[in-house]
């Protein structure tokens, strides 16, 4: 077996040496050992082959960075480590997708223009109404809802005496925003 071959169970130092000596061969061997398991995992949980490749490559990047930096701690084989990191990355991706659903773009760019709202239709953008609020309300609402900052941080940043004060102010600002939106849309729904 050549010096750059990756043993089935390699200590971090041996893996590091193999990566430094012949990175391509070492990663190819690791790919052959671990990718089928990652692909099965991702496909079983609703992902595509491309998703599996992306997750696997991200896991390899984690492994290589830690191995080269000397911070890699292996309690199992490198392949098992990559599968575990891939599982974690895929779970993270599934949570992200649940929060932000993915809508694929159509193959024909002309369809995008067809889906655009007509010029005579009013376009409702909440941010336009947020901009009409006072500066402090705008900052509080954006910090909480858009930047997802905790109320403790918002209270400290805006000089509120307690988190409760920040909560009350956020509620008042949200009510002002709701009133502005209702004022615009209530006549349409009165019919």
Render pLDDT for 142-178 as a digit per residue (tens, 0 to 9): 888 888 888 889 899 888 898 898 889 988 988 888 8
Cα-based distances in Å from 74 to 9, 71, 79, 97, 180: 9, 10, 10, 30, 58
C-beta separation of 126 from 181 below 8 A: yes
Tens digits of residue pLDDT in 49-76: 999 999 999 999 998 888 888 888 888 8
C-beta separation of 81 from 74 below 8 A: yes
C-beta separation of 170 from 136 below 8 A: no
What's the predicted TM-score (pTM) here?
0.51
**Alpha-carbon 47 to chain mean position:** 16
- What local confidence, expressed as pLDDT, does residue 188 receive? 52
Fold of the CATH domain 123-189 = Arc Repressor Mutant, subunit A (1.10.10)
C-beta separation of 163 from 157 below 8 A: no
Tens digits of residue pLDDT in 76-105: 888 999 999 999 999 999 888 888 766 666
Judged on CB neighbours under 10 Å (0-12, 13-18, 19+), 6 is: buried
Contacts of 150 (CB under 8 A, 6+ apart): none
- What local confidence, expressed as pLDDT, does residue 58 receive? 93
| Closest-CA residue to 85 (of 29, 76, 100) | 76
């Amino acid at each position: 077996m050549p010096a750059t071959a990756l043993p089935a169970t390699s200590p971090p130092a041996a893996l590091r040496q193999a990566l430094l000596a012949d990175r391509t061969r070492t990663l190819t061997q690791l790919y052959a050992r671990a990718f089928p398991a990652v692909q099965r995992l991702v496909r079983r949980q609703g992902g595509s082959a491309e998703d599996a490749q992306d997750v696997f490559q991200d896991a390899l990047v984690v492994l290589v960075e830690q191995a080269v930096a000397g911070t890699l701690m292996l309690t199992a084989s490198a392949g098992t480590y990559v599968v575990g990191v891939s599982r974690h990355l895929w779970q993270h991706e599934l949570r992200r997708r649940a929060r932000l659903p993915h809508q694929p773009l159509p193959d024909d760019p002309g369809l995008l223009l067809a889906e655009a709202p007509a010029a005579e239709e009013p376009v409702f953008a909440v941010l336009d109404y947020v901009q009409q609020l006072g500066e402090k309300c705008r900052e509080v609402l954006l910090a909480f809802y858009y930047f997802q900052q905790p109320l403790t941080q918002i209270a400290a940043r805006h000089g509120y005496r307690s988190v409760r004060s920040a909560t009350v102010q956020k509620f008042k600002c949200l009510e002002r925003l709701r009133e502005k939106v209702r004022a615009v849309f209530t006549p349409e729904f009165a019919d």
